[in-house]
Chains A and B, each alone.
Chain A
Amino acid sequence: MIEITNIRKVFNSGKPNEFVALDGVSLSVDGRGITALKGPSGSGKTTLLSILGCMARPTSGRVTVSGTEVTSLPEKFLNEIRQKTFGFIFQQFHLLKGITALENVMLPAYPSGEKHSALKQRAMHLFELFGLVPKALSRIEWLSGGEAQRVAIARALINNPSVIVADEPTAHLDSKLSCEFMEIVSRLKSEGKTVIIASHDPLVFESSVVDRVVAMRDGKLVDPGAQP
């Protein structure tokens, strides 16, 4: 599904604060399954995640998505692939304040020019799935942590992507909500979606629903040979 070869990512190249986030990482993520990236903060999990999700380009190396090489694609095409293939759940949720949950969820699909009513229907279906229908027209500020998390997941799913990417999704959640999250992720897996989660929370990477765990440290994979 997603294959990265010899990825290197350097920030502030040439400047005194030059920082190598990823140093020669090669990884192959198969479709239909949950992959967890584990490692302490600063290990490069987030950077790897953004490269896997076509959010950022590597300084060197190759990225292939479903057979298509994307490393050298112009922004417009890369953007299109990202839009169609990936859905992101951020650590901070990053929902827009002041507008309704419904609009937040529909927002990523606005530029596609899809008919508003069809889009709204899809969004409401997702709200039903997550039990959020009564909160659909509430402003984000009025939602609880768990509700906001579910809205964030719904938003990631609005364009029906095949890959869900989540960055430290349980960082701000208690155990109960974290378990709920893993349940939702498991449901997504059963629908045939690929999920990649970066987390240093054992509740995540030790969960039974996770198919594969990739350990990282200091911008490199730990024990690359031993990856299942």
Chain B
Amino acid sequence: MRLLNKQTNILDFTLSSLLRRKGKNLSLIVVYSFVVFLVTSVVFFTHSLKREAMLTLQGSPEIIVQRVVAGRHELIPIGYMDAVQQIRGVQSVKPRLWGYYYDPTTGANYTVVVSDDLETSPGAVALGRGVARTMGSYEGTVPFQAHDGSFVYLTIKGILGSESELVSSDLILMNEADFRRLFNYPTGQATDLVLSVRNPKEFTTIAAKIVKDLPDTRPILKDEILRTYDAVFDWRGGLVVVVLSGAILAFVILAWDKATGLSAEERREIGILKATGWATSDVLLMKFWEGAVVSISSFCLGVLGAYAHIFFGSFILFAPALKGWSVLYPEFALTPFLSPFHVASIFFLTVVPYTVATIVPSWRAATIDPDAVMRA
């Protein structure tokens, strides 16, 4: 109980002391909170996005076989299916037809995918919500410019749900015949082959066999598709490095004031405290509270602000960076996936270095002989 009282007493004084320079300390907390807010926003956003990618892309094909010519992805002959089908462990092989359509009127890129759903509906398309939004059409016919400059008019059969925008926003689902006509896709060729394999342990063996049998192909495994999104916001990526560097720089500037030692005024005050009966440990405890109050406040404000920003505010501050040069941009809300480890790390990094930076420079002053105050 005594120990508790001692803490609150000293905390009282620490707060009075901080309030003396209200403006300075308040702006310190504001800036520090902002730094924490930025970094935490990035952490929360990337972690949630990666988890959503992981969960939704679990449905992606087990193995995809692409043909590569002179280092570039090329069309694959449907005849390759026979060689692949024969590999033991392969349940089924299907050709996949997909590509990109550039819309000159809007400047947007759409992803066109041939879907079995539209096999019996030639002349019809299903649009992703982002496509409809960009085109401004939710029903009726849409003109597509074919490879030879002529126009093909396709009817909108349906719009994909807004809940799936993260994977389907820019999709145009089409009938195979329409696809081939639009792009002059040669018959007997597909974009790539999709394999279904029952046993996950066989993926790599099958992939090796594919490369052996069809040396001009490159198999892509589901595992690799999933890990692609680990590279999202990789800390080595340009923008993230900028944000992190900025944050570190800001922190250094903040802590600089503390770390370069005490002002004469502060030293004098510590001397008075010691002369009136405070022990060295009491002075250091006060300095601890000083650092802790500022850093813990900043942590709370920053983290809570970041959570609100990402999951209630639709990560509005990141939108310009994410949009880049895209014309079509998906509208989606992220499901919050929080890692306690991340939050704990941010707490540790926010509170410990700053508190240490507040205590250490005071060490010398705290051990001052109270006698020196008498002579001051």
Contact = CB atoms under 8 A, between A and B. Distances in A.
Does a CB–CB distance below 8 Å link A and B in the complex?
A: yes
Interface of A: 46, 49-50, 55-56, 75-76, 79, 82-83, 88, 90, 92, 94-100, 103, 107-116, 119, 155, 159, 167
Contacts of A50: 371, 374
Contact of B6 (A75, A94, A100, A110): A110
Interface string B339-376: 00000000000000000000000000000011101111
Contacts of A82: 277
B279 A167 contact: no
B5 A55 contact: no
Contacts of A103: 12-13, 16
B92 interface: no
B146 interface: no
Contacts of B371: 50, 55-56
Contacts, number: 90
18 contacts: A46-B375, A50-B371, A55-B370, A56-B370, A82-B277, A94-B275, A94-B373, A98-B16, A99-B13, A103-B12, A107-B13, A107-B273, A108-B278, A110-B9, A110-B278, A111-B282, A114-B2, A114-B9
A198 to B, nearest CB: 10
A90 B13 contact: no
Contact of B276 (A49, A88, A99): A88
Given A46-B375, A99-B17, A113-B2, A55 B275 contact: yes
Among B1, B4, B5, the one with the most A-chain Cβ atoms within 10 Å of its Cβ is B5
A115 B9 CA distance: 9
A82 B274 CA distance: 11
Contact of A111 (B10, B269, B370, B376): B10
B13 A46 contact: no
A110 B17 contact: no
Contacts of B212: none
Contacts of A100: 16
B279 A110 contact: no
Contacts of A46: 374-375
Contacts of B3: 113
Given A92-B376, A111-B282, A119-B9, 6 more contacts: A49-B374, A55-B369, A103-B16, A108-B277, A109-B277, A111-B279
B276 A108 contact: yes
Which of A75, A98, A111, A155 has the most B CB atoms < 10 Å from its CB?
A111
B194 to A, nearest CB: 72
Contacts of A107: 13, 273, 276
A109 B277 CA distance: 8
A144 to B, nearest CB: 20
Residue in A46, A94, A100, A116 whose Cβ sees the most chain B Cβ within 10 Å: A94
Contacts of B12: 103, 110, 116
A163 B16 CA distance: 30
A55 B278 CA distance: 12
Contacts of A97: 20
B108 to A, nearest CB: 61
Interface in B191-207: none
B121 interface: no
Given A113-B2, A113-B6, A159 B375 contact: no
B273 A116 contact: no
A88 B275 contact: yes
Nearest to B271: A94
B9 A116 contact: yes
Nearest to A156: B276
B272 interface: yes
B374 A90 contact: yes
6 pairs of A and B residues whose beta carbons are closest in the complex: A113-B2, A56-B371, A113-B6, A98-B20, A110-B9, A108-B276
A115 B376 CA distance: 32
Contacts of B373: 90, 94
Nearest to A79: B279
Nearest to A51: B371
Interface in B245-292: 269, 272-273, 275-280, 282, 285
A90 B373 CA distance: 9
Contacts of B13: 99, 103, 107, 110
B276 A55 contact: no
Given A99-B16, A99-B17, A112 B276 contact: no
B284 to A, nearest CB: 11
A94 B1 CA distance: 31
B164 interface: no
B91 interface: no
B256 to A, nearest CB: 23
A97 B265 CA distance: 10
B85 interface: no
B60 interface: no
B8 interface: yes
Interface string B204-217: 00000000000000
B279 A96 contact: no
A75 B280 contact: yes
Nearest to A90: B374
B280 A96 contact: no
Contacts of B269: 96
Nearest to A76: B279
A116 to B, nearest CB: 6
Nearest to A9: B371
